[in-house]
C-alpha cells in the first residue's frame, strides 16, 4: 500500500525534529485502499532511524537478563499467570470458581 503524508515538507520537518530512535506523535495521513479504489485516512508515525548494526549471536547466558526483562515488560501479567498455572499443576492443585456447584468442578 502506498502511503502519502500530508506534505513532504511537513514530514521532513517532523523527521528533522526527532532524535535518533524517537517516534513522532501520531498524525493523519492517507493510504490507498485497493478495494475502495481511493485514498483513505489512516494514522501515521514517523520514526528516526540512522544506521543499524548487523545481528550477531551471543551466548544465552549473556542476554538472559535482557530477554527476561523485555518479556516481563511486554507481558508480565501473562507470564505470572503461566507460572502460577504451572506451579499449581505440578502440585496437583485445581483452581475452581468459588460457589461453583460440586458436580461442575
**43 — phi, psi (to 5°)?**
-75, 140
Give pLDDT tens digits along the chain (105 positions).
444 545 667 778 888 888 888 888 887 877 788 888 888 888 878 888 877 777 788 888 888 888 877 777 777 677 778 878 888 888 887 777 777 666 655
Q: What angle do CA 69, 63, 82 make, to 5 degrees?
A: 45
Q: Is 38 helix (H, G, I), strand (E, B) or coil?
A: strand
Sheet of 27-33, strand order: 3-4, 27-33, 38-44
Sequence ranges of the domains in the chain: 1-52, 53-105
Close Cβ partners of 11 (under 8 Å, ≥ 6 residues apart): 5, 46
Single pTM value for the model = 0.34
Amino acid at each position: 500500500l502506498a502511503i502519502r503524508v500530508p506534505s513532504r515538507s511537513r514530514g521532513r520537518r517532523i523527521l528533522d525534529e526527532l532524535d535518533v530512535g524517537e517516534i513522532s506523535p501520531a498524525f493523519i495521513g492517507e493510504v490507498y485502499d485497493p478495494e475502495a479504489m481511493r485514498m483513505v485516512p489512516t494514522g501515521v508515525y514517523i520514526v528516526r532511524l540512522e544506521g543499524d548494526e548487523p545481528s550477531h549471536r551471543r551466548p544465552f547466558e549473556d542476554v538472559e537478563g535482557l530477554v527476561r526483562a523485555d518479556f516481563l515488560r511486554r507481558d508480565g501479567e501473562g507470564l505470572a499467570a503461566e507460572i502460577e498455572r504451572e506451579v499449581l499443576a505440578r502440585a496437583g492443585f485445581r483452581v475452581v470458581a468459588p460457589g461453583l456447584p460440586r458436580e461442575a468442578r
